[in-house]
Every structure is written in C-alpha cells, then in structure tokens.
C-alpha cells in the first residue's frame, strides 16, 4: 500500500511540477501502460481533490460565505445546472486558489533563503538543489537574479 501511494504521488508530482520530465518518462508508454498508470493514480488524485474541496468549503464557511455542500460535488463533477449565477460563484471561489497555485508565490521565501546561502558558499550549485529552481520545471513567478535562458520561457541560471 505504501508503494502504491508513493508511486501515485510520484506521478502527481511529475504532472504538476515537472511536466517535461513526465513527457520524457511516458513517451515510450504503450496505451495499455498509460491507462494502467492513470487508473492507479486516479483514486489518490480524487482523494486529494476531495480534501481540497473540503478545505475550500470550510474556508468559505469560516469566512462567512455559505457553501452548499450537497451540491458542490455534483456541480464540480457533472457541470453547473443552476445557471450562470451559480457558475460565476463557483468560478470566483476557485480563481484565487488557481492563481495562488499557478504563480506559486510561496516559492519566493525558500528561493531567497537558498539564494542567500548560495552567495556565501564556495560552490552554489549543490545548495540550489534545495530551491524551487531545481525541483519545479514550470515556475511562473519571476525569481530574482535569474534570467530566461530557454526559448520556451522556463527559468534557468543567468
């Protein structure tokens, strides 16, 4: 069971943080291998999604907004049948979370810490293996003192 969770979280990590590596690892997959991998990962991804839904709903309730628990899951899985007003409410609730995860502003603090450590080290490259520059291939937030070295716009050493 632990190996199953580890493998599923590995694939989810590659999907969100290292899509280029994911592409390289899966380019030789047969259709059967791809379907098996998807079916293995889906229950773990669904559990994470449900946890995020619970956190979002609880956060909305704590902030004083009503969250319709018995409609949230069917609406998110099967579409919005209540009309445009409900669609706008749910989209507006998830936009801040989307932008927070897309731009990853929480990377700035660990990056600044590792940058400071690298400035005083004799060899900065091993230190930067602990920073977001090393373990996330698609950082949308511009990190200070790095430049675009890739035509696709991914950050690299400058």
Q: What is the pLDDT of residues 59-104, one digit of tens each?
A: 888 888 888 777 777 765 665 655 556 666 666 777 777 777 666 7
Q: Give the model's pLDDT for residue 32.
A: 93
Q: Give the model's pLDDT for residue 58.
A: 86
Distance (Å, rounded) from C-alpha 5 to C-alpha 155? 30
Extract the tokens encoding 135: 């373990």
Distance (Å, rounded) from C-alpha 60 to C-alpha 8? 29
Q: Which parts of the chain sit beneath pLDDT 70?
A: 75-91, 101-103, 131-135, 138-158
Burial class of 17 by CB neighbour count within 10 A (0 to 12, 13 to 18, 19+)? middle
Q: Give the model's pLDDT for residue 157.
A: 41
Say if CB 12 and CB 45 are below 8 A apart.
yes
Q: Please count the residues of the chain.
A: 158
Q: Give the model's pLDDT for residue 149.
A: 52
| pTM check: above 0.75 | no
Q: Is 153 left (phi over 0), alpha (psi -120 to 50) or beta?
A: left
Q: Give the model's pLDDT for residue 80.
A: 62
The residue assigned the tokens 């998830």 is 94
Q: Give the model's pLDDT for residue 141.
A: 65
Q: Give the model's pLDDT for residue 152.
A: 46
The residue assigned the tokens 């950050």 is 155
Helix (H) or strand (E) holding 147: strand 147-148
């Amino acid at each position: 069971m632990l190996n199953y969770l580890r493998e599923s979280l590995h694939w989810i990590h590659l999907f969100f943080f290292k899509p280029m590596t994911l592409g390289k690892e899966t380019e030789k997959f047969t259709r059967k291998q791809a379907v098996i991998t998807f079916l293995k990962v889906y229950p773990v991804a669904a559990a994470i999604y449900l946890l995020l839904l619970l956190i979002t709903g609880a956060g909305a309730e704590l902030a004083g907004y009503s969250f319709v628990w018995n409609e949230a899951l069917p609406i998110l899985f099967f579409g919005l049948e209540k009309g445009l007003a409900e669609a706008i409410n749910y989209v507006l609730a998830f936009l801040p979370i989307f932008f927070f995860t897309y731009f990853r502003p929480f990377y700035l603090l660990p990056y600044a810490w590792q940058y400071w450590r690298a400035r005083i080290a004799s060899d900065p490259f091993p230190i930067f293996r602990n920073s977001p520059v090393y373990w996330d291939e698609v950082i949308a937030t511009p990190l200070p003192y790095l430049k675009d070295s890739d035509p696709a716009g991914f950050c690299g050493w400058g």
